Every structure is written in structure tokens, then in C-alpha cells.
Structure 1
Amino acid sequence: MSAVASIFDPVTLPCGFRLQNRVIKAAMEENMATHHCLPGPALFSLYRYWAHGNLGMIITGNVMVDKQAMTGPGGVALEADTPLEPFTQWAKIIRSNGAKAIMQINHPGRQVLKAMRGKAIAPSAVGLNMGKHSKMFATPVEMTGDDIHDVCQRFVTTAMRAVDAGFDGVEIHAAHGYLLTQFLSPLTNQRKDEWGGALENRARLLLNIVSQIKARCPSGFLIMVKINSADFQRGGFELGDAIRVIERLEALGVNIIEVSGGSYESPAMQRRNTDEQTLAREAYFLEFASRIAKATAIPVMTTGGIKRAPVAQRVINKGCTLVGMASALAFTPDLVKKWQAEPDYSGVIPHCHWRDKALASLATMSMVRRQLRRLGNDLTTVRHPSALWSLVLDMCHRKRMTRRYLNEQNQ
């Protein structure tokens, strides 16, 4: 791809997939599903704003492959027997103004809240280490071989149902400390069998999932993988590991790589990490993504802290094909339109500077989710929300959603 291409230029990917521009709405966890973990009116309203925001592609928030293993209350799940009509409507809304519709598919592994009483499984029985906040999460159980094969088939089933619903592709989430990341990282994968040890074994589940989705879905169906550039924890998954895994993904025909980083323990995706590496103030992972782009023929997208057009353009100039944005589009869903009219316009990304990093991370996510809920209710967003009040509102919302989820699981 040309280094002088504009972020507003259309782009045709090597696989033939054409986007109306290079700016992508990246995934955020909305926690706005209706009953039985289905997309409903609130999510439809929210995605209409993005659909008419002049974006090249819109990636959904987490769609879980197992509704007994959710990242949080109010999440969406798509299983073999899930009603498909709400997902069909969701895809139509996303595609209504020319954007491509991509469903992010995921499994939380050990990152399951204890209050959800869900299924917390992991490659090894290694619990989250978040200090005094660790007790918020369920204790994980080490997966059996049957568990691993079940998870693989669930990813494939969800991808096939995304095809049926009219989505243009899926993004397999192998970042941010979720299950596939747990397999990739030596900190969380301490297995001694064919699923652990050497990197080729730790990557086996991700590669199996990609291979089977590729085999079972139509040839024009886009397959993305979101992968950590690093865990940002000592002794964890590193950039060299990421490049080696991406080489294998390239051989399998993956169409786009999204580069991110971090986990609940080291939330680098919010520019907080627990090792010595310093992240940029905007486009946090650009240096990592640029190095990855040089090492692979797969088009690369990076996400993290982008809110200004010149920064987005720098992402393209540094060798990435696509620019991902998340939080800034929660506050200003038509940000790309504003950039086209006023190139110096700056979006908003919230930051919380409390001393407790885990609590600050939760507050930051709460400020974002507050805006998503407002858009879902057709309300204007709040440009400078209170971190404390946002956290209180989010806790109340999540408590209601948790109660509803538990009631439905018991029915």
C-alpha cells in the first residue's frame, strides 16, 4: 500500500475486499444486549450512529461463543441454537451506508466475573493477579482436551452463523488477556501437553480455529485476527512471538491483523502497563504495528488512543493499511465526518489518573460505556464525564444486567 495514501481514500485489500476508506470502528464492550444475550434496540440505535459516520468498516463489540462464559453482563452471545434474526438486523444496520460489517468473536477464558457464576476455564489454573481486585474474578479450571476441542468448534459455529446473518467477516479476538491470549502467553499457559510449552503449541488453538473457519466459511468471507503486540508483563508474550504467530496466520490466509496489547492485569490498551516499555500518548501500539507490517504481507490495522486525523494519517504513513478507533467514536460517533470538514478537530478519549490502576482502568471503561448507553438511548454524549459518577452508574447498570442474566440462566 502507498505510504502517501490518505485515511479517507478507498482501499482494496489483497484478498479483493474493498473498503470505502481506511478508518475502522474497532471493538468496544458495550454491555447493552437485550434479553437472552441478543442484540436489540439499544445496540441497533448505537450502531446506526456509526453506520452513518463515514467509516470503512465497523467491528462489533465482543460476541461470545458460549453464553455461559461472558466477559460481563449485558454481553452478546451467538451459539448454534441462538435466534438469528436480531443478528441479521444488526448486520443490515451496520452496512446501511457502505461500511463493511465484521463480527468480533471471543471467549473470556479466566476473565469471568465471579458475580456472573459462569464457566471460567483456562489453559492452566492460573487466576488473575489484580491485587485486592482479584477476588472479583472466578477461579479458573484447567481445560481438558475435550474442553479445548469444544471451544474450537464454538468459534467455528459462531463464524458460520455470522455468515448466515449477513456479516462480511469475523475478527477472532486473541488479545487483551482473553482465552486465546491465555493460550499464547507463557504466563498463563503452563501446560505440558501439545497445547503448551513451545510457541507452536501455545498457538495451536488459534491456528486450528482459523483453519477450520477458513475451511467452513465462503471464500469471500473476511477473517481478521486481533493479537497482542505484547502482554506488557515480564516473561510474557513478546513482539518476536507475535511476529512468529503472524507468519503462521499469513500462511493460513488471514486477511487482516489488528495489533493491540495488554490484558486486565496490564491494561496497555488504556496506556497502562506493568513492564518498563513506554507507550506513545496516541496510537499506543504504532511502533509495534509498524514493525509487524514490515514482517508480513497481511494488511495491518492498529488501535489505541487515536483521536486526531494527523495521528490517524501517521498510522498509514508508518506502513499500516488501516486505522482503528474505539473510545473516540464513543464520544463522537461522526468523528470522521468532522475530520473531513475540519481536519484539526480533536476527538475525546477519557483518562482517569487515580492511584489505584485497576480501579482507574474500570473508571475509564465506565466513562466510555456511559457514552455508548447514551447513544443507544438517542441522547447526546457528555464530553467531560465524571470518572466517579460514571463508575457508579456503570456499577448500577452491570448489577441490573447481572441479575437479569442469572435469572435467564436459571429459567
Structure 2
Amino acid sequence: MTPEQVLSQSFTLPNGSVIRNRLFKSAMSEALGSRDGHATPELARLYRTWADGRIGLCVTGNVMIDRRALGEPGNVVIEDDSGLAALQTWASEATHGGTPCWVQLNHPGKQAPKGLNRENVAPSAVPFRPDMQAFFPTPRALTAAEIEGLVQRFAKAAAIVKQAGFSGVQIHGAHGYLVSQFLSPHHNQRDDEWGGSAEKRRRFVLAVYQAMRDAVGPDFPIGIKLNSADFQRGGFTEEESMDTIKALAEAGIDLIEISGGTYEAPAMTGVKTAGTSIKDSTRQREAYFLDFAAKARQAVRTPLVVTGGFRSAEGMAQAIESGAVDLVGLARALALEPDLPKRLMAGQAPRYQVRPIRTGIGPVDRMGLLEVTWYTKQLKRIGGGLPTRPKTPALWVFCQFLWAQMRAGKRRKPTRLRAS
């Protein structure tokens, strides 16, 4: 088959849900929520654009489960059904034409910039590396009661996502956010039932999955985005990731998206930092984490997605034909070119190539946060009905981001994280 024929094939999940083609829109933070954390017309317009672009399966940007713990200004937050009407509008547009759209649920843990939240929390009070401590505060360690409360927040948010009319839900267990922090021996230095061994570090993600499953029933799809590794010294390893994948598969997870890295070691963006350089062989094969996915395929039959590095229809089709993955994940390319799936399935090349974003300031350029911020700017343009601007200067975007953080921090009052 030609690459476009491979990508145009449908795929059926084990629960019977049908995905119309093999192109998977991976989560990107849109920062288009209202001041009170509700969905907006801009979000609806953005996701209608991707639905019209014929993506096979669409996953939203990280929707937070606690308004006291945002990852960036403009996050949508689901704590209760107060924003249900707006969520229903978003879901209706995002699923236009039969497009499945899943909501990614997240808690940032320690990975939230200074000034945004009154305090950051994490499994343990482990600071960021020295050159990033000016941007990220040292978190407070969660109590056991707070951890139990967060598990229930994930479950409640999942139930509301289903009620709103979305097609599924994804747990964000990658890129250094809270679930990822629990899995990492670097970030999770607890010695209670939530840490101290690889099995105990996995307890949080398994508890979140089970609570969500209980809340949405057996047929509503639940997936997870999971690191193949953290690419940090003393962090989450490939061996631990493989064991986590096996445990999630046994628990009944519907889909596993494989990525890697954190803000401190942003391997998911292809940025070179100490210990995270991408091999030439990987660049030629395009996908950053395909070797790991091939190993995972030997261990589990759960459907797999790899996100990161794909540049051409040929590279995407080869990944699928290899049997290592069932879907190919796209993110930044869709922020530049929202109708890319149509082009790829018509045998046309992408208009733009994704390249690392640089300000020329070393510590800033080594943070995954810069990539998130720059592409968020492109999503805002699409949500506003405007064309993307691939040549937007990175430094200008970063300065705007810092100003927004300061303004958001001034609007917040001190509060202590409660157990539920």
C-alpha cells in the first residue's frame, strides 16, 4: 500500500470504538479557558478546525482537575458540573463529523511556574535543577489524605467528561506532571504506601485509572500518555515504564500513548540537553520513541501510539507497518497546519517542518516550557479564526508568557490544598 493508504485505514479499539484513520492528535496546552476555568468559543472553534481537518482521534490539551493547581493561565478546570454547558458545546464541535475526541485530565504537581498557584504540591518536596529554580518553586509534599482526594478528583472529572459528550478520556502520565512525578524515583521519595519501591510508585496511576473506570463504566475509553523514560538521572527508567505498561494493560487500559521527557529534560521536543540527545538513527526513522514501542508491543496487545518526531507520511506509514504502533501521534505539526491529515491522506507533503524553538537564552531554550508556550500561541490564533504564524519570534512569545504569569499570580489569594 502507499503511505496515504496505510494512514487512511480505520482502527478498532478492543472496546469496539472505531477510529477512522491512523492519525492521532496528541495533547497540546491551548490556554484558551475562561478566567473561571470554563471552556470557551475559541476552544470550540479550534477543535472544530481539527475535526474538519479529518484527524482520526483527537485528544484535548491538559484539562486540570483542581483550580488551585493550574499548569498555566487559561487551563480549563473540571471540578464539578458548573461548566457543563460550555463543555457540551466544546464536545459537540470537537466531535463534528464523527471525530472521536478524548479529554486529557491532568494535575501539574510541582511543574507549574512561580506566581501561578499559591503553592505547588508533589509526591515529595524535591526542587527543580538549579538553573530552573528561578522559574519553578520547590513544592510541598502531599499528605496521604490529599493523595486520596486527588484520585477522586480524577474520577469525578472523568464522569463529567462523559456527561458532556466527549468520546473518551486520557490520563496525563507523562512529561513530568503529577502522575509522572509519582512514577519517578527522583521526584517521589516517599516511604509510605505511595512510594519507596517501583510497585508503590505505580500505585497512584493504577488507583487513578481504577477510580476513573468505576466512574465511567466499562465501555467508555480510557487511555494514558506515559513516558518511555524521564531522561533524568535517577528518574523513571525504561524498565519501570515497561512494568507500568504491563500493569496498566492488565488493568484494562484502552490505549497507551508513548512519549518521554519532562520540562527539565524535554526529550519529547527533540531538544538536546545533557543526557537527552536524539540518535541519528532515530532521526532517520523519525519517531523518537519507536524502539521502545516495539519492545512494548512484544509485552502487551494494548493499542499503542508514539508521539514525537514524525515528519513525513512515509515515516508514519513505516511505523504502522512495522507493527510497533497502531496510530501515529502528531502535535506541533497540527498547530502549524491544522488540515495536515487531509493533506497526508491525499498524498501531499506537509507545508511546514517542525523545528526547535530558540530564544538564544540558554536556560530558557533548555526548558520544555518554551516549546509549550510558543505553540500555544499558534493555537490561540486558530481559536480566534486567524491563520498560524510559523515565524513568530520565540523571545517575544516567552516575554508575553512571563507577563501573563505575573498577572495571574496577582489575582490569586492564598489557599491550602484540601483532601477532596
- Give the TM bin, normalised by the shorter chain: over 0.9
* Separation (CA, whole Å) in 2 of partners of 1:276 and 1:43: 33
> Structure 1 pair 59/378, CA: closer, same or farther in 2 (3 Å)?
same
Asked if 1:289 is matched to 2:293, the reply is yes
3-state DSSP class of the match of 1:224? strand
Q: Quick one: which of 296, 299, 309 aligns to 2:303?
A: 299
Asked if 1:340 is matched to 2:339, the reply is no
User: Which segment drifts farther, 355-364 or 145-154?
Assistant: 355-364
The aligned residue for residue 383 of structure 1 is 390
Asked if 1:161 is matched to 2:167, the reply is no
The aligned residue for residue 172 of structure 1 is 171
Cα deviation 1:11-40 (Å, max 9, x = unaligned):
112221111111011100111111301110
The aligned residue for residue 315 of structure 1 is 319
CA positional deviation for 1:277: 5.7
The aligned residue for residue 197 of structure 1 is 196
Residues 355-366 of structure 1: matches in 2 within 5 Å? 356-361=362-367, 362-366=369-373
Counterpart of 1:301, as a letter, is V
3-state DSSP class of the match of 1:103? strand
> Structure 1 pair 12/180, CA: closer, same or farther in 2 (3 Å)?
same
The aligned residue for residue 91 of structure 2 is 91
CA positional deviation for 1:213: 1.4
> Structure 1 pair 75/276, CA: closer, same or farther in 2 (3 Å)?
closer
> Structure 1 pair 75/302, CA: closer, same or farther in 2 (3 Å)?
same
CA positional deviation for 1:397: 4.7
User: Contact 1:5–1:316 at 8 Å: present in 2 too?
Assistant: no
The aligned residue for residue 22 of structure 2 is 22
* Separation (CA, whole Å) in 1 of partners of 2:145 and 2:93: 37
The aligned residue for residue 334 of structure 2 is 329
CA positional deviation for 1:300: 0.4
CA positional deviation for 1:259: 0.3
Q: Quick one: which of 394, 402, 412 aligns to 1:406?
A: 412
User: Which segment drifts farther, 338-347 or 60-69?
Assistant: 338-347
Cα deviation 1:175-213 (Å, max 9, x = unaligned):
100111111000011111111111110000100111121
Counterpart of 2:59, as a letter, is I
What's the % identity of the aligned pairs?
37
4+ residue segments displaced more than 6 Å? none
User: Which segment drifts farther, 214-223 or 47-56?
Assistant: 214-223
> Structure 1 pair 379/290, CA: closer, same or farther in 2 (3 Å)?
same
User: Contact 2:357–2:365 at 8 Å: present in 1 too?
Assistant: no
The aligned residue for residue 110 of structure 1 is 110
Q: Which runs of 5+ in 2 are unaligned?
A: 416-420
Counterpart of 1:306, as a letter, is F
* Separation (CA, whole Å) in 1 of partners of 2:303 and 2:383: 32
CA positional deviation for 1:276: 5.8
User: Contact 2:131–2:363 at 8 Å: present in 1 too?
Assistant: no
User: Which segment drifts farther, 37-46 or 147-156?
Assistant: 37-46
Counterpart of 2:197, as a letter, is A
The aligned residue for residue 227 of structure 1 is 226
CA positional deviation for 1:398: 4.8
> Structure 1 pair 22/402, CA: closer, same or farther in 2 (3 Å)?
farther
* Alignment: residue pair count: 405
The aligned residue for residue 252 of structure 1 is 251
The aligned residue for residue 152 of structure 1 is 151
* Separation (CA, whole Å) in 1 of partners of 2:8 and 2:38: 33
Asked if 1:213 is matched to 2:212, the reply is yes
* Separation (CA, whole Å) in 2 of partners of 1:299 and 1:75: 29
CA positional deviation for 1:81: 4.6
When the two chains are superposed, the root-mean-square deviation of aligned CA atoms in Å is 2.2
3-state DSSP class of the match of 1:82? helix
* Separation (CA, whole Å) in 1 of partners of 2:209 and 2:276: 33
CA positional deviation for 1:114: 1.9
Q: TM-score, normalised to structure 2's length?
A: 0.91
> Structure 1 pair 118/283, CA: closer, same or farther in 2 (3 Å)?
farther
* Separation (CA, whole Å) in 1 of partners of 2:37 and 2:274: 34
Cα deviation 1:296-350 (Å, max 9, x = unaligned):
1110001113232112112212320011111000000000111223433354313
3-state DSSP class of the match of 1:278? coil
